[in-house]
Structure 1
Amino acid sequence: MIRGVLLDIGGVIFEGESPVPGAAEAIARLHAAGLAVRYLTNTTRKPVSALVARLETAGIPARAEEIFAPARAAVAWLRANRRSAHLLIHPDLAPDFADAPEGLPEAVVVGDAGPFFTYERLNEAFRKLMAGADFLALAANRRFVDADGALSLDAGAFVRALEYGAEREALVLGKPAPAFFEAAARSMGCAPGEVAMVGDDAEADVAGALAAGLGLGILVRTGKYREGDEERVTPRPSAVVDDLAEAVERILV
């Protein structure tokens, strides 16, 4: 029995800058049915405060503690492991690291820096890795739907470049890391098998959720979805549907 639902934000609730038609109403149906909802995103260009505001403008009330973003997991890791952050991120994300420890041995933290992925910044991070710094990736997605509605290169390619150059493997903190899904499930008081994930990324969202033991992984044909994505991943999605509204119908059956 499904008791909680995890929703990706970009590509499921929004396409580019526009809300997906019917998304707010679909989420309201989940709440009305008594299901807990969390927003699980690999977005690493916007702080949580901006994500809350974005949802509210679309008619979706949300609290900061209901949003699970990789920066939150990174700060928790830095505290637990007594590390300071060398940040290779977009400047807009910096507020989410305001409480990170300082003055400790460093961990390189890589997010989607966008136009701030310069050679100089990448090489600085590479040199720190070669000197022994820990290596954290907020996410390792291949691509995302940008503000103009077209696909753009995501942080994964830059993470892989640093891994290749430094001969090191990054610890990925966002989707598809099982601990990321598990933390969101715990916050709702649910076991993983009682939770459904709705995403537009067949690999990171859906296959990642099912591999982490979630009860349902539903792929929507909005956002970054391209025909045949469901055939290229293992485990396969529990269902492939047109949009969030249809995913909610499937969950509430």
Structure 2
Amino acid sequence: MPEAVLLDISGVLYQDAQPIAGSVAAVKALQAKGYPLRLVTNTSRLTAAEIHRQLSAMGYALQPEQIYSAPRAVRHYVEAKGLRPYCLIHRNLEAEYADLLEEPEPNAVVLGDAEERFDYAHLERAFHLLLDGAPLLAMGDNRYFRSRGALRLDAGPFVRALEYAADVKALILGKPSGEFFRGALAELGVAAGDALMIGDDVESDVLGALQAGLQACLVKTGKYRDGDQSKAPDALLADDLADAVRRFC
């Protein structure tokens, strides 16, 4: 049994603004068993405060500090390195990055899921900064996510486009980065081998966690697609969060 549990959010706790059946009760069961929890997410269209508000409205009794997000990890890195970022981010994330949006001479590019801001003008600005030597800091490199019953482009394809155009390598500071998982584990005070990551994304959640030394469980909800389990044969497999908690916690 693990000593702590990390949970992905979208596709594990909820889908299309509705809690996945059994997930609210499953989180309550984890809390009743005394598991330290962190909700780990690459979501970069919402602030941590808004994520917490939405989860609370769905019936999840969690604390804001239990949310460990990629935007939070990127901000910590930028501040630690004293960087002045050009932020190509979603409009909803501006409140969390307000003091970083008007840097007069940016020397880094921060990339999140910018949605409609992934246009030629914004990508061109980022491209020229990268050519001048600015590092590319990405909140994640997820290929897609599921919303309103369909798969939607995430930030990953645009990370790859800028890497290709400017001949650079992005530093991924969200999942599947080992640094991201280590940051969440440091807050929990547990070793990687004593923690279980439960997610629906076989690459970002499951393979990333396994490579960082965690146990991992792939659930067949959210963006899960038939055959994903073959990419991570060392991972546990469950129908959904309720099934994972019942069998593995």
Shorter-chain TM-score above 0.5: yes
Q: CA deviation at 1:238?
A: 2.3
SS in 1 for 2:174: coil
TM-score of the superposed pair, with normalisation by structure 1: 0.94
| Letter matched to residue 141 of structure 1 | N
SS in 1 for 2:44: coil
Cα separation, 1, equivalents of 2:235 and 2:230 = 12
* In the alignment, structure 1 residue 229 sits paired with structure 2 residue 225: no
Which deviates further from its counterpart, 176-185 or 98-107?
A: 98-107
Q: CA deviation at 1:149?
A: 2.0
TM-score of the superposed pair, with normalisation by structure 2: 0.95
Tell me how large the CA RMSD over aligned residues is: 1.4
**Which ranges in structure 2 are unaligned for 5 or more consecutive residues?**
none
Cα separation, 1, equivalents of 2:208 and 2:105 = 32
Q: How much identity, in percent, do the aligned residues show?
A: 44
SS in 2 for 1:98: helix
Q: Is the 8 A contact 1:87 1:108 kept in 2?
A: yes
Q: Is the 8 A contact 2:13 2:23 kept in 1?
A: yes
SS in 1 for 2:225: coil
Q: CA deviation at 1:134?
A: 1.6
Q: Which residue of 2 aligns with 1:116?
A: 117
Q: CA deviation at 1:63?
A: 2.1
| Letter matched to residue 109 of structure 1 | V
**Which ranges in structure 1 are unaligned for 5 or more consecutive residues?**
none
Q: Is the 8 A contact 2:140 2:156 kept in 1?
A: yes
Structure-to-structure mapping, 1:158-173, within 5 angstroms: 158-173=158-173
1:80-99 superposed Cα distances (whole Å, 9 cap, x missing partner):
11101101111101122235
Q: Is the 8 A contact 2:87 2:100 kept in 1?
A: no
Q: Which residue of 2 aligns with 1:211?
A: 211
Q: Is the 8 A contact 1:79 1:100 kept in 2?
A: no
Q: Which residue of 1 aligns with 2:7?
A: 7
SS in 1 for 2:93: helix
* Corresponding residue to 1:241 among 233, 238, 242: 238
Q: Which residue of 2 aligns with 1:138?
A: 139
1:123-144 superposed Cα distances (whole Å, 9 cap, x missing partner):
1110111111121011000110
1:42-92 superposed Cα distances (whole Å, 9 cap, x missing partner):
101001111000110111122221111111111111111110110111110
Q: CA deviation at 1:179?
A: 1.0
